[in-house]
Amino acid sequence: MKVNYAGTVSLSTVDWRGRAAITIFFRGCPLRCPYCQNHPHLHGSNPVELDFVKEQIRKSKPFVSAVVFSGGEPLMHDAIVPLAEFAREMKLTIGIHTNGCYPEMVSKLVNLKLVDKIFIDIKAPPEDTELYGKVTGCVESEAVKETPEQITTSVIKTLEIVDSCGLKLELRTTLIRDFIGSPQEIANIAAWISGHIKNKEVTYVLQQGIPEYSLQENLRNMRALERGELYELGRIARRFIENVRIRTRENGEEIISDSV
């Protein structure tokens, strides 16, 4: 079996906060989010042997406690199953970054006990299919084959699977000025999470998008939201969700509390 391989970060402390992890990046993604900062990984082919990636994990094992599979979109690849099995053999905890479009693969990994934490991008309010279509590139890119309705249905199913099995869950929204992340949009996303996710320990993270790295050129000259702006948006989300954080270049990760 081959892996459509995009690269490895041998030691990361940011892809799973609180853990030292090796992060494996896969190529390919069914979406074309205009603000995507990993867009070099969205397409193309770089097949490598499964054993090559296993060796990357083996070499990092003395220095890490976890492996994170990211991309692109790791769950569109069957190779994630044997790689997760190998990580389990190495006694590593397993995290997955996903856009939520592959509930069947999530279910398979859950049933095989091959995942410990899932990080899901919740890109807009799931009930707002028009906005979700805009944010995932359905309008601008012919590369996106699914409709906004199909995408949101898959995301909701993925969330239901993860929520029902007790896995650790982190939801993230990337914010780009005048594109996604208005106060009302954040309130709508947070209210949806509060109303649909039973696990009240879920973490919701607002991520500072860096427009200059965007896939879509007309976003690259936008001014990034400042730390203070994200904090105020975090306080809006905090009205609905207990565990809210923001991530910025300026201050890293911060917990939103009632006291500030």
Q: Which amino acid is at 137?
A: G
What pLDDT, on a 0 to 100 scale, did the predictor assign at position 185?
98
In whole angstroms, give the CA distance from residue 178 to residue 199.
Answer: 31
Residues 52-99 have pLDDT tens digits of 999 999 999 999 999 999 999 999 999 999 999 999 999 999 999 999
Give the whole-number percent of the chain exceeding pLDDT 70.
99
What pLDDT, on a 0 to 100 scale, did the predictor assign at position 139?
83
Domain boundaries, given as residue ranges, for the chain: 2-255
Summarize the confidence of residues 17-36 as an average pLDDT.
Answer: 97
H-assigned helices in the chain: 50-60, 80-89, 103-111, 129-135, 148-165, 183-196, 227-238
Asked if 101 and 155 touch (Cβ cutoff 8 Å), the reply is: yes
Question: Does the pLDDT at position 115 exceed 70?
Answer: yes
Question: Does the pLDDT at position 259 exceed 90?
Answer: no
Mean pLDDT of the chain: 96
Nearest to 152 by CA among 122, 187, 186: 122
Q: Which amino acid is at 189?
A: I
Mention the CATH class of domain 2-255: alpha beta
Question: Does the pLDDT at position 258 exceed 80?
Answer: no
Nearest to 247 by CA among 171, 187, 194: 171
Give the whole-number percent of the chain exceeding pLDDT 90.
96
pTM > 0.85: yes or no:
yes
Provide the pLDDT confidence category of residue 260 given band limits of 50, 70 and 90: very low
Tokens matching residue 59: 């070499």
Summarize the confidence of residues 95-107 as an average pLDDT.
Answer: 98
What pLDDT, on a 0 to 100 scale, did the predictor assign at position 43?
87
Asked if 237 and 204 touch (Cβ cutoff 8 Å), the reply is: yes
Tokens matching residue 147: 């409709």
Residues 149-167 have pLDDT tens digits of 999 999 999 999 999 998 9
Q: Burial code of 79-101, b = ≥16 C-beta within 10 A, e = fewer?
A: bbeebbebbbeeebbbbbbbbbb
